[in-house]
């Protein structure tokens, strides 16, 4: 059992979105204040069929609840978008608090829903953060197999590999094909492999379209599906009027290091320290951790990356309201030296009013040329959690 960092409200209705397998239902069923909640799981075919035929039936069910039973949980609300109109009515007419989980907002939006017109708070749950894993956390395991909660119940590498391969297939079957987001699954399957191999790199839509054998428009739609089903996100280029900024292409990152390796067909290969693959996985992991924790603690931060015309790059730029822009260099090295920070030092000096730090596997906190170098655990916690 893991203590999740996401603080949820007890006083008003909310959506809890997250990709399949991140632990939404588990989180809700372990909260003491929800122990008496009415639970309706729309993944159960009988319940899905019942409410699909008769959405207004929810009014009768909720009306029969005792006064002190305040909470109603509806799992996978995107299965029946029409229920939102009924829930909207019940929020207005009753004292009940609705908790609605989902692994996609795409179908809700396409159904014309306004997500309850602001009457429900929006939360996101992600795979585990290192702070939530505590003693069970292993960096190498996190890079190799990711941080979906189910991984931690599996002891053998083969079982972890099979779980991730199954997860990928279930995503294709249940999230994409069953929800009719696409008509032809084969090119999308090929796209997933190509997109996974491009994880953390600038997205070239035309090149990916050519590799997959589809149009540029189709590839853009595919990436939208990944975003809408919470499987990945764009990291946009830094758009400040910085004289050396050139790149205008976003990068795309998948939500979990293990899932992206399974999609890329690499899950059976071990990650070896001091290789480029290990460094890329470490960078991916750190960026995910920063963004996830900032989301949990409601930091109104804007994340991007910076690349110059000479291909010099800062891995993560964080714009923080009321504070200096934060430049983060991510290094998988266990011994950070001045030469590792030359790009960060130069770009920081050119930019001016910023705070520059390095997150690495170096076990010591140190200062190099006015740049703070943090062991990654300390750095992530310092800047992105309470």
Q: What is the CATH number of the domain that holds 297?
A: 3.40.1350.10
Question: Nearest 5°: phi and psi at 127?
Answer: -55, 170
pTM recorded for the entire structure:
0.93
Residues 108 and 141 in one domain: no
Q: How far apart are CA 19 and CA 55, in angstroms?
A: 25
Do 271 and 380 reside in the same domain of the chain? no
Identify the pLDDT of residue 311.
77
Residue 251 bridge partners (DSSP) = 202, 235
Specify the pLDDT at position 112. Answer: 46
Whether 8 maps to a domain, the answer reads: no
* In a domain? residue 206: yes
Asked whether residue 257 falls in the same domain as residue 307, the answer is no
Chain position carrying tokens 């596997």: 361
Residue 157, domain member (yes or no): yes
Backbone angles phi, psi at 310, to 5 degrees: -95, 15
Q: For residue 239, what pLDDT is reported?
A: 78
CA 208 vs. chain centroid, Å, equals: 22
Could you say which of 239, 254, 279 is where a domain stops? 279
| Through-space distance between the first and last CA atoms of the chain, rounded to whole angstroms | 22
* Euclidean distance between CA atoms 26 and 89, whole angstroms: 28
Cβ atoms of 5 and 132 closer than 8 Å: yes
Residues 78 and 165 in one domain: no
What is the CATH classification number for the domain harbouring 140? 1.10.10
- Same domain, yes or no, for 154 and 251? yes
The verdict on 266 and 298 lying in the same domain is no
Q: Which of 103, 122, 107 is nearest to 24 (CA)?
A: 103
Q: Which of 258, 279, 300 is the last residue of a domain?
A: 279
Same domain for 290 and 268 = no
For 103, residues 6+ apart whose C-beta sits below 8 A from its C-beta are 17, 18, 19, 20, 24, 76, 78, 175, 229, 230
User: Using CA atoms, how far apart are residues 373 and 356, in angstroms rounded to an integer?
Assistant: 9
The predicted structure's pLDDT at residue 243:
56
Q: Is residue 7 part of a domain?
A: no
The answer to the question of residue 234 being in a domain is yes
pLDDT by 10s per residue, the chain, length 386: 788 999 999 999 999 999 999 999 999 999 999 999 999 999 899 999 999 999 999 999 999 999 999 999 999 998 898 899 999 999 999 999 999 999 876 667 655 456 776 778 899 999 999 999 988 999 999 999 999 999 999 999 999 999 999 999 988 877 787 666 787 889 999 999 999 999 999 999 999 999 999 999 999 999 999 998 899 999 999 976 665 555 678 999 999 999 999 999 999 999 999 999 999 999 999 999 999 999 999 888 999 999 887 778 999 999 999 999 999 999 999 999 999 999 999 888 888 889 999 999 999 999 998 899 999 999 999 999 87
Question: Does one domain contain both 318 and 379?
Answer: yes
Provide the β-strand partners of residue 325: 354
Burial state string for 25-61 with b = 16 or more CB within 10 A and e = fewer than 16: bebbeeeeebeebbebebeeeebbebbeeebeebbee
301 and 263 within one domain: no
**Quick check: is 369 in a domain?**
yes
Residues 336 and 358 sit within 8 Å (Cβ to Cβ) = yes
Return the pLDDT at 247: 61
Which residue range(s) make up the domain with 98? 14-124
Is residue 2 a part of any domain in this protein?
no
Tell me, yes or no, whether 75 lies in a domain. Answer: yes
CATH (domain of 38): 3.40.50.300
- Total domains in the chain come to 3
Residues 267 and 294 in one domain: no
The verdict on 144 and 275 lying in the same domain is: yes
Q: Are residues 171 and 223 in the same domain?
A: yes
Where does a domain end: 233, 255, 279?
Answer: 279
């Amino acid at each position: 059992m893991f203590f999740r960092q996401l603080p949820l409200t007890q006083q008003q209705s909310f959506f809890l979105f997250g990709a399949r397998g991140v632990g939404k239902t588990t989180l809700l069923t372990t909260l003491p204040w929800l122990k008496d909640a009415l639970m309706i799981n729309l993944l159960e075919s009988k319940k899905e069929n019942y409410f699909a035929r008769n959405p207004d039936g929810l009014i009768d069910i909720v009306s029969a609840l005792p006064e002190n039973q305040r909470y109603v949980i509806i799992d996978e609300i995107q299965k029946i978008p029409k229920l939102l109109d009924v829930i909207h009515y019940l929020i207005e007419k009753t004292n009940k608090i609705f908790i609605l989980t989902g692994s996609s907002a795409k179908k809700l939006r396409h159904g014309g829903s306004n997500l309850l017109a602001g009457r429900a708070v929006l939360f996101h749950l992600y795979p585990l953060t290192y702070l939530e894993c505590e003693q069970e956390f292993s960096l190498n395991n996190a890079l190799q197999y990711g941080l979906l909660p189910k991984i931690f119940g599996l002891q053998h590498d083969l079982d972890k590999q099979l779980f991730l391969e199954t997860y990928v297939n279930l995503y294709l079957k249940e999230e994409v094909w069953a929800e009719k987001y696409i008509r032809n699954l084969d090119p999308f399957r090929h796209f997933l492999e190509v997109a996974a191999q491009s994880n953390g790199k600038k997205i070239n839509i035309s090149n990916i379209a050519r590799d997959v054998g589809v149009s540029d428009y189709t590839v853009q739609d595919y990436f939208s599906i990944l975003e809408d089903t919470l499987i990945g996100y764009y990291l946009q280029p830094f758009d400040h009027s910085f004289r050396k900024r050139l790149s205008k292409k976003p990068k795309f990152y998948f939500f979990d290091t293990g899932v992206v390796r399974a999609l890329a067909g690499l899950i059976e290969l071990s990650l070896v320290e001091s290789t480029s693959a290990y460094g890329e996985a470490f960078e991916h992991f750190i960026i995910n951790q920063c963004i996830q924790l900032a989301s949990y603690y409601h930091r109104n931060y804007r994340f991007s990356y910076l690349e110059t015309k000479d291909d010099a790059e800062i891995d993560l730029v964080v714009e923080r309201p009321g504070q200096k822009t934060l430049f983060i260099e991510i290094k998988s090295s266990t011994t950070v030296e001045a030469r590792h920070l030359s790009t960060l030092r130069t770009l920081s000096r050119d930019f001016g009013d910023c705070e520059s730090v390095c997150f690495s596997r170096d076990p010591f906190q140190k200062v190099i040329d006015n740049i703070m170098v943090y062991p990654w655990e300390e750095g992530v916690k310092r800047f992105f959690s309470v």
